Structure 1
């Protein structure tokens, strides 16, 4: 992938880059896997409850995902270390359950919309990308979600080395993680240079 750059003026201004065919294939695969993972979470949500029936507010899971990757994409809203006045039982019980139930469907909708926006603008065989500012924001969201998912699967922490030995089973995956980070950083730089 080449660096992102702005082209054009006014309404025709776009944020552009070029993807190699293998890069486009990799992005499509990762974003599709992400949408499948989020779609599975949606499909396992409990049926509408009384709140949804009374208010029209869609509700979802009350429990945090058991899957590490989904847990990174859909973390708890409140952690015990954030408020010394509430007991851990309250925080881990009803507070997080209630916040998750009401907000998780909206968060997943936003993540799926960003992923769809990205998939709709990736040239399947590689080539030139020309994004509006709104499309670039969708790319940022989807790139971040893919990075979070991959980082969770690889167990990336601050202590993870920048490179792994070439024969390490996660070496290629870590390279992909760094490539996604680079792509995201460059896109942020271009968007901030408005």
Structure 2
């Protein structure tokens, strides 16, 4: 529960450790920007300074850098397209940071990120199943009923157990969510 760069709630801290938060962001990027999953990549950046990058057709990359603090993105989301000053915000000092490090993602180590790509590509109700299974599994972990690595196992079993429903309506998604949570609880 002690993230090296961020102060977050319990669930988000666990999702960060399992990389499920990045998996959910991959699915969001797919829908928000109409990008195929093959064009969305995740790299490990331990300093949490670069929050996003976009590569253009000419291969140049633009990145959004800032201190590990959600005040700026939340404020920007609320005030878009304006940018307001944040009086209490710490300024990013790149000389103080010194270096930025990047590592390819290990999908064997971070299975939740792999699940997100697979569920997103499968479509239909699979992303809802993945999310519901993750929420139920993380809750069980926080209640000391399972180990950290069992979170992945429960999500995997829920995804394997589910038969995809294509083009679900909201009512179907809500029912699949409830069924998945019941299924995960039955495995505990």
TM-score past 0.5 threshold = no
Higher relative contact order (Cα pairs below 8 Å, separated by 6+ residues): 1
Answer 1 or 2: which has greater helix percent: 1
- Greater C-alpha Rg: 1
TM-score (norm 2): 0.26
